[in-house]
Amino acid sequence: MNKPIPYGRQHITDEDIAAVTAVLRSPYLTQGPKIGELEESFADYIGSTYAVAVANGTAALHLCCLALGVTEGTRVITTPITFSASANCVRYCGGDVFFADVDPDTVLLDPNAVRKLLESHPQGYFSGIIPVDFAGYPVDMVAFRELADEFGLWIIEDACHAPGASFVSETGIEHRAGDGLLADLAIFSFHPVKHIAAGEGGMITTNNESLYKHLLRLRTHGITNKPLEFTTPYADEPERGGWYMELQELGYNYRLTDIQAALALSQLERADTMLDRRRELAARYDLAFSEAASAGIPVQIIVPPAGVGHAYHLYVIQTLDRKELYDFLRTKEILAQVHYVPVHLMPYYQNLGGKPGDFPNAERYYAGCLSLPLFPTLTNEEQDYVIDNVAAFFKSSR
């Protein structure tokens, strides 16, 4: 058995290494042909019309906010149970972040809580919503689309935890996370513990051609070789050469490299296989902890209903003995983790007005949550070791 056992781990194969090596031997290291290949393949996998590869998931969020016009005074709603980048991206643009509580049954942003917040302010007070597919559980984007249409909002779906996730709406339509049918923009991450590991990297998906073209420009300093109508007279001169380019707006260097794109492409080829293994491991945990609960072991789990295709970036249990269990598992070289400290309780956001008690469901969840090891190369033997030690902790503490 391999120990220690982390909560997440990348899986790099000989095929991945060969793909990266081929790029290192090619003329391109930064923006080369692999970028376009990855964007086309990822859009096809997710089911969106367009995809834009960027430096990381946080850059993806930032560019989405820029493309949607977030600026000083823009007000955006998101969940307190997420990585802080889901909120920080609004602050990068000078906007204001408002949080709404989560649904205790899913730990996802609660549409009812969002509606209550929207209705407590004048129409037009808010500009957008950033729901998060937390742990791989896909958000009910139909409910958020209805809210967005009613209140004139845009939506950025933070799908970093959920490539391959899906849900079936009440009308029987299957929606894949980030497919562009319900959100204006969606973002993904290629961090090593995510489904597709590229070291770093991110992707934005959309079905909106105008936003797509804007994002392409924003990720590369705001520079393009396609002149605007109102641009400098040099743009229209017949002798303008192939060197010509324009800085049309303030953009960023948020490009992905061909090296990373090659690794992500190689990983994408086995994305479904790795997702199947995550779901298989989650089902084994579900069975073990359902039986544990019936035996009086105080662990709560979230089992999605039929029609929800959970992507299982994380497998989270909840217990009142979280700190003690966390410490005990560390003595057994099981490196469980906590996802996440509620964003509104972070010192930065407390300085902006957040305080304990603001979002009871999110805070109750945080008080007991613990992410157990879950990654495609986790063996059944290693998982049984985790399960046995969780059970052993509670038996010894009775």
Backbone dihedral angles phi then psi of residue 112, each to the nearest 5 degrees: -70, -40
Distance, CA of 16 to chain centre: 23
CATH, range 5-268 = 3.40.640.10
Measured between alpha carbons, how far is 30 from 53 in angstroms, rounded to an integer? 12
| Nearest of 165, 162, 185 to residue 175 by alpha carbon | 165
The overall pTM is greater than 0.85: yes
Active site residues: 194
Token output for 28: 């391109």
CATH H-level superfamily of 271-396: Aspartate Aminotransferase, domain 1 (3.90.1150.10)
CATH 3.40.640.10 in the chain, residues?
5-268
Measured between alpha carbons, how far is 261 from 383 in angstroms, rounded to an integer? 31
CATH 3.90.1150.10 in the chain, residues?
271-396
Q: Evaluate whether 45 touches 272 at the Cβ level (below 8 Å).
A: no
Measured between alpha carbons, how far is 320 from 325 in angstroms, rounded to an integer? 9
| Per-residue pLDDT tens listing for the chain (398 residues) | 788 999 999 999 999 999 999 999 999 888 899 999 999 999 999 999 999 999 999 999 999 999 999 999 999 999 999 999 999 999 999 999 999 999 999 999 999 999 999 999 999 999 999 999 999 999 999 999 999 999 999 999 999 999 999 999 888 999 999 999 999 999 999 999 999 999 999 999 999 999 999 999 999 999 887 765 545 555 555 556 777 788 889 999 999 999 999 999 999 999 999 999 999 999 999 999 987 676 778 899 999 999 999 999 999 999 999 999 999 999 999 999 999 999 999 999 999 999 999 999 999 999 999 999 999 999 999 999 999 999 999 988 76
